[in-house]
Structure 1
Amino acid sequence: MLKKNQGLFVIKKENKFYFSNFTGSGGYLFITKKNKYILIDEKYEKQAQEQCKEFSIIILKHKSFLQYLREIGEKEGIEELVFEENAVVFSLYKELKKLPFKLVESENLIESQRVIKKKFEIELIKKSCNIAQSAILSALSEFEVGMTEKELAAKIEDSSKRLGADKIDFLIVVSGKRGVLPHGRPTDKKIELGELLTIDFGCVYKGYHSDITRTYGVGDINSQLKEIYNIVKEAQNLGISMVKPGANTKDIDRVVREYISGKGYGEYFIHGLGHGIGIEGHEKPFLNWKEESILKVGMTLTIEPGIYLPEIGGVRIEDTLLVEETECEMLTTISKEFKEIKLC
């Protein structure tokens, strides 16, 4: 990944975790061809000793991190300092320019490496997905008509923590007319009969994220809501069928979008088709009309079409997938057959 005369300077929290397993919010990584260093304040020393077994620990004491970088770089024969162009703010960039190294943008070097998941990462993502979907099913088993969105969300969150989640990434619970909000947060609105209920949930397990969305009918719903549900389900199945090595993400998004448009609802599909998932809840590859990536074995991503009808309601169905040798493996497996819930 690095040339002999290059050093990689890492500050983004997720990238620090990827290389070192360090979960603290502070500190810097400096990686060369020969050695790996973590530069941290004294308060993180014990944590770094426990988490960063392959790294030499440099305590930032009496000197600035720039002075330590200079000393390490000169000792290692570094001529070029590779930095994360999407993470380094301008004020830090000006400081780095004071060093006697040529600054080189990483051009998503780290993110491109992260996109192919290692076996242990896949297992952690699977576990995170299992926790998320089990938490949803557990909460729905206690659902009652008239429960508020917040009350149902609290049950999902409590269940996920009981099942082993380290924390919640996000939790969307919207019902009725609020179903048109793709990122709507739960409110005190009561969930009533005749409405659609959308739950979009992701948690974090040992640093890895999950993401699943399901939409349910609360009792009997009208024919238009059932129609858009079936369209979204078929659109998602179409997208999933295209997930395989060599597929172009832009093409997958286009085909799914054209399917929904052909059913007369194109203008109501208002977001991208999906995204990569791993150490971040949203990471490369992205599936939308403007970005283009080629799928490879070991990528994990979501497929999540939706239709959102103002003043009526919305439907979204989302699954997390693993790209395998010839097709994909579903990492979220809750049934997508339309289900009407009253008391589950």
Structure 2
Amino acid sequence: MIVKKIKEIIKNENYQAIFLAGHENEAVLKNIRYVSGFTGTSGYVFIGADFGYFISDFRYRDQAKNQVTDLDFIEIDTTIFDVINDLIKKHNVKLTAFDKKLFYSEYEKFDEELDSELVPLDNIIEKLRISKNENEIKLLQEACNITDRAFSHILDFIKPGMTEKQVERELKDYMLNEGADGAWDSFIVASGPRGAMPHGIASDKVIETGELVTLDIGCVYKGYTSDMTRTIAVGEVSDKLKEIYEVVKTAQQKGLDAAKAGITGKELDAVCRDYISSKGYKEQFKHGTGHGIGLDVHEAPYVSVRNENPLEEGACVSIEPGIYITGLGGVRIEDDIILTRNGCIVLNNSPKDLIKI
């Protein structure tokens, strides 16, 4: 289905082929996975309006034949340049669009060796990735389910005196044991004053009684990611921290209530931002309200003041407003949602009332 859509797009473009070169390039390989289904670490895709090929070497022959169904497989016997040049000649390709995520050193080599002019590919594949199909939503849901279970588990694990890194390690181990393929490289575990750092990755800081702890966590399940944030209290916290928690919780719920296909990213961002501003915390909420989630944990579309485009039905986005006060701490609450015509489906089910451990 994806290959068919790409072929239809090419018919209306001035180039004759799209070339994805994914030799150990994670960003390009995710686009290749989306287009072809291939999950290996070295492969190439060459698609035109009336042809389509997946190319790799003998190491991935069996894997490619099992995973790739909509493209003809070619095994590299000489060099990738020879293979592509044969296809360029066979299909009379004068202009080839390449994935802009290609490493520059590789681009230079392909530009030198290929018998077709190379032009950068607009974000065609990234745009196709925005609206998730039924199978993608199932994978995203399971990634969120694992994350929810990990959060529930960590509530019984966290104790004053532990370091943030200890909490991070426990979360990652639990996710892997629950069936995740992997977890992010770094989780945000930000306690006390470090909670004022929106991207305060886990450190050696000791978690203390009377602090809030922000946990921004997620895993990968069959290629698809989750991204959830909850903020919890270790013992009794100050009235000020309780106040900002309630402001963020209400702002996040307002965002969920307003989320639906057709609203622009800017309009949805404003729902959360305007409420937080009305409570006096405009300067303490500077990041965007959300982002797309899929094969990447951060991808299009974006729920921010810069996105004036309508959000698509089937898009998976996060809603994650926050308040950050230097020297005191911070609060962020985040869910992953699927946009529908009439609203949204929330993929996370972890509680959002302030939990005291």
Q: TM-score band, normalised by the shorter chain?
A: over 0.9
2:157 is paired with a residue of what secondary structure? coil
Instruction: Give, in whole Å, the separation in 1 of the partners of 2:286 and 2:61.
Output: 46
Instruction: Give, in whole Å, the separation in 1 of the partners of 2:256 and 2:90.
Output: 51
Instruction: Give, in whole Å, the separation in 2 of the partners of 1:217 and 1:300.
Output: 29
The question of whether the paired residues in 1 share the 8 Å contact of 2:262 and 2:341 is answered with: no
The question of whether the paired residues in 2 share the 8 Å contact of 1:7 and 1:81 is answered with: yes
Q: How does 1:1-344 map to 2 (within 5 A)?
A: 1-3=9-11, 6-11=16-21, 12-62=28-78, 64-87=79-102, 89=104, 92=107, 95-96=110-111, 99-169=114-184, 170-341=186-357
The question of whether the paired residues in 1 share the 8 Å contact of 2:17 and 2:97 is answered with: yes
Instruction: Give, in whole Å, the separation in 2 of the partners of 1:321 and 1:255.
Output: 16
2:172 is paired with a residue of what secondary structure? helix
Q: 1:98, CA displacement in angstroms?
A: 5.5
2:275 is paired with a residue of what secondary structure? helix
Q: 1:86, CA displacement in angstroms?
A: 4.3
Q: 1:269, CA displacement in angstroms?
A: 1.0
Opposite residue 10 of structure 2, the aligned amino acid is L
The question of whether the paired residues in 2 share the 8 Å contact of 1:286 and 1:293 is answered with: no
1:43 is paired with a residue of what secondary structure? helix
The question of whether the paired residues in 1 share the 8 Å contact of 2:165 and 2:203 is answered with: yes
Aligned pair count? 340
Q: Which moved more, 1:24-33 or 1:303-312?
A: 24-33
Opposite residue 141 of structure 2, the aligned amino acid is K
Q: 1:265, CA displacement in angstroms?
A: 1.2
The question of whether the paired residues in 1 share the 8 Å contact of 2:291 and 2:300 is answered with: yes
The question of whether the paired residues in 2 share the 8 Å contact of 1:146 and 1:190 is answered with: yes
The question of whether the paired residues in 2 share the 8 Å contact of 1:97 and 1:103 is answered with: no
Q: 1:91, CA displacement in angstroms?
A: 5.4
The question of whether the paired residues in 2 share the 8 Å contact of 1:273 and 1:305 is answered with: yes
Question: Identity, % of aligned pairs?
Answer: 39
> Aligned-pair RMSD on alpha carbons?
1.9
The question of whether the paired residues in 2 share the 8 Å contact of 1:179 and 1:315 is answered with: yes
- Would the alpha carbon gap of residues 99 and 191 (structure 1) be closer, same or farther in structure 2, given more than 3 Å must change? same
Flag structure 2 segments of 5+ consecutive residues without an equivalent: 1-8, 22-27
The question of whether the paired residues in 1 share the 8 Å contact of 2:151 and 2:350 is answered with: no
Q: Which moved more, 1:177-186 or 1:114-123?
A: 177-186
Flag structure 1 segments of 5+ consecutive residues without an equivalent: none
The question of whether the paired residues in 2 share the 8 Å contact of 1:9 and 1:84 is answered with: yes
Opposite residue 280 of structure 1, the aligned amino acid is D
Opposite residue 230 of structure 2, the aligned amino acid is R
Instruction: Give, in whole Å, the separation in 1 of the partners of 2:289 and 2:128.
Output: 23
Q: Which moved more, 1:81-90 or 1:25-34?
A: 81-90
Q: 1:205, CA displacement in angstroms?
A: 0.3
Deviations 1:292-322 (A, max 9, x none): 3211211100011111111110101000000
Instruction: Give, in whole Å, the separation in 2 of the partners of 1:88 and 1:119.
Output: 33
Deviations 1:223-248 (A, max 9, x none): 11011111111111122222111101
Instruction: Give, in whole Å, the separation in 2 of the partners of 1:205 and 1:24.
Output: 16
Instruction: Give, in whole Å, the separation in 2 of the partners of 1:34 and 1:325.
Output: 34
Q: 1:166, CA displacement in angstroms?
A: 0.2
Deviations 1:203-236 (A, max 9, x none): 0000000010000111110011011111111111
